[in-house]
Structure 1
Amino acid sequence: MPDRPPLPSALDLTRAQFDGWACVWCGMPLRKGAVSAGRAEGMLGEHDMSIEVYACPACAIAPRTPGAWVALRGRRDDGSPTGEGGGLPS
């Protein structure tokens, strides 16, 4: 299994990431092929907000190098294409 960035705190997730609708690392909407990325931990006072989070297929196999993440996704964080052709079909 490749090295991945650490999971964010459960308190730092967007609503879509917390609900399992978006990739925990790149934020892209999840459709077919979502993979469990682990458990994001976090406490809000005495309430345990920890939850299982999911990754898109590209981020699930991507190496830790940030440039490789963009090349695999085939688009930048702003959604514009990189022109490098993504590693996996959307």
Structure 2
Amino acid sequence: MTSRTDEALGYEQARDELIDVVRRLEAGGTTLEESLALWERGEELAKLCRRWLDGARARLDAALAEEEAEDAENDAEDAARQDASEA
């Protein structure tokens, strides 16, 4: 479970800390307890990064959908003006 301070971490901060956790785990030399604590922290950070990325993807999808809707509306208006001028 992430803490309130974790929620305040930006994506880049969480990613950088996750990279550090992975490096420390890969380097070895830690006790089992330390390794488990690092693993748990890494899992929390990975979830936090995933939430940031999912949120960014949702915002991007919404912006693209809005742009497509505006384009379709403009195309319809252009077609209606062209039909009116041909009549």
> Which structure features the higher share of helix residues?
2
Q: Same fold (TM over 0.5)?
A: no
Kindly name which structure, 1 or 2, has the bigger radius of gyration based on alpha carbons: 2
Q: Which TM-score tier does this pair reach, normalised by the shorter chain?
A: under 0.3
TM-score, normalised to structure 1, is 0.24
With a CA cutoff of 8 Å and minimum separation of 6, indicate the structure with the bigger relative contact order. 2
